[in-house]
Structure 1
Amino acid sequence: MQLKPLAKGRYRQRWQEDYPLIEAVILSCITETKTLKTGSHLMTQGEAISSLVLVKQGRVSLGHTARNGRSFQLGTIDCDSQLFGEMEFFTEYNCQLDIIANEPLDIMLISGDKLQQALGQHPQLALFFASAIAIDYQDTVEILTRRLLYPITYNVAFDIYHEYLNDLPVDGFNKRYLEAERFATTDRVYRRALQQLEARGFIERQKEGIKICDLDALKQFVEAGI
């Protein structure tokens, strides 16, 4: 979740008003700062979480690997005061995702015990956490249900179109095999989906990436949802 107040949600005005307190309380719970190299884990799938992680700036990726070896990449985030581990803090579940630095990062560790004490002293902060977690939850469920219920060709088209609109909660990858894992499929199936979109005249594959050739037709295809 993002520590900074978001311009959406029922309590967005309250977020704006209470932000100085929210930031001060969170920063007071920091126990350690670290510098991570590219490829280092901020959090590891399956581990118990005792500290939350705050990333002021930098790019991270989020993914999950199943016991059968298949991987799902949720995507990448350009962090802007991003807080990780908040759901595990409340549930005491083990971490569900690998969160990996895509570039050198400075991170701050927030003590779960200190945060628990702070929430007891400032219970109104629970409203901030509830609102932020609810928004992240609904964004994530929307991604997952769309992946499950629509064909991969539609999902790829949706992603290309909304990447153009710059309104996706998470971004993609430059490497094609990671893009395939973002749709929980193989590189071969992902490549076939691109070929089908290219055959319809929606896009063109180029060395530097995917170019939209017919934005109106692509929009119509995505909004039809069939």
Structure 2
Amino acid sequence: MRDLVLVPSGRIAMGHTAMNGRRFQLGTLECDNQLFGEMEFFTGYRCQLDIMAEEPLEVARIDGERLEQALVAHPKVALFFATAIAIDYQDTVDIFTCRMLYPISYNIALDLYHSHCHDNPVSGFSKGYQEAERFGTTDRVYRRAVKELMDKGLVERGEQGLQIRDLAGLKAFLEQP
């Protein structure tokens, strides 16, 4: 299917379940006219992530054939798509790379720091096991990493979940080699 989906507003979750049953949850996204399917439209590949509504959504379907005609007739629209794809790609690769190359405690700290700066492309989940899956690990390993950060005095549990306790210390933790 070459159609795209536009979500005017609402909350969606993105993740992937591997053949071995392990799950990776990228996080949740608060949609503000969020477009889905543009990468698949241009590549012809299937979507690599599971995209799930976190609440009832109204969506609009964008006909792929009509979009292709519009792109040919208005090349500046193609530039808009290329830019949007590049930004999404960079954000996703950055998240995946950090998850693979750094310890879980570092990734949790980095996620909290990005949330503090309000520049997190995706946010977390409300349930512990979903947070663990967001970092590609088990609930037990996730809890151990959080405890490490708490023992260092960098984070604490608050009403809204984990929050930064020592911003300067957290930044120093993230900058160490």
Q: Same fold (TM over 0.5)?
A: yes
TM-superposed CA distance for 1:208, in Å, is 4.0
Query: Does residue 111 of the first structure (1) align with residue 67 of the second (2)?
Result: no
Once the two structures are superposed, residues 138-193 of structure 1 have per-residue CA deviations (whole angstroms, 9 ceiling, x without a partner) of 11111111111111111111111111111111111111111111111000000000
**2:151 aligned to 199, 206, 216, which one?**
199
Percentage identity across paired residues of the two chains: 62
Query: Does residue 159 of the first structure (1) align with residue 138 of the second (2)?
Result: no
Q: Could you say which residue in structure 2 is the equivalent of 1:96?
A: 48
Return the alpha-carbon distance in structure 1 between the equivalents of residues 5 and 103 of structure 2. Answer: 35
Return the alpha-carbon distance in structure 1 between the equivalents of residues 107 and 120 of structure 2. Answer: 13
- Root-mean-square deviation (CA, aligned residues, Å) is 1.2
Task: List aligned pairs for 1:75-90, cutoff 5 A.
Answer: 75-90=27-42
> 1:87 is matched by which residue type in structure 2?
M
Once the two structures are superposed, residues 100-148 of structure 1 have per-residue CA deviations (whole angstroms, 9 ceiling, x without a partner) of 1111111001111111111111122111111111111111111111111
Tell me if structure 1 keeps the 8 A contact 2:24–2:135.
Answer: yes
Equivalent residues, number: 177
TM-superposed CA distance for 1:207, in Å, is 5.4
Task: List aligned pairs for 1:23-172, cutoff 5 A.
Answer: 49-172=1-124
The answer for unaligned runs of 5 or more in structure 2 is none
Structure 1 outlier segments of 4+, above 6 Å: none
Return the alpha-carbon distance in structure 2 between the equivalents of residues 179 and 94 of structure 1. Answer: 26
1:124 is paired with a residue whose SS is helix
> 2:23 is matched by which residue type in structure 1?
S
Task: List aligned pairs for 1:12-23, cutoff 5 A.
Answer: none
For normalisation by structure 1, the TM-score amounts to 0.75
Once the two structures are superposed, residues 9-63 of structure 1 have per-residue CA deviations (whole angstroms, 9 ceiling, x without a partner) of xxxxxxxxxxxxxxxxxxxxxxxxxxxxxxxxxxxxxxxx332100111111111
Higher-Rg structure is: 1
Return the alpha-carbon distance in structure 2 between the equivalents of residues 195 and 205 of structure 1. Answer: 10
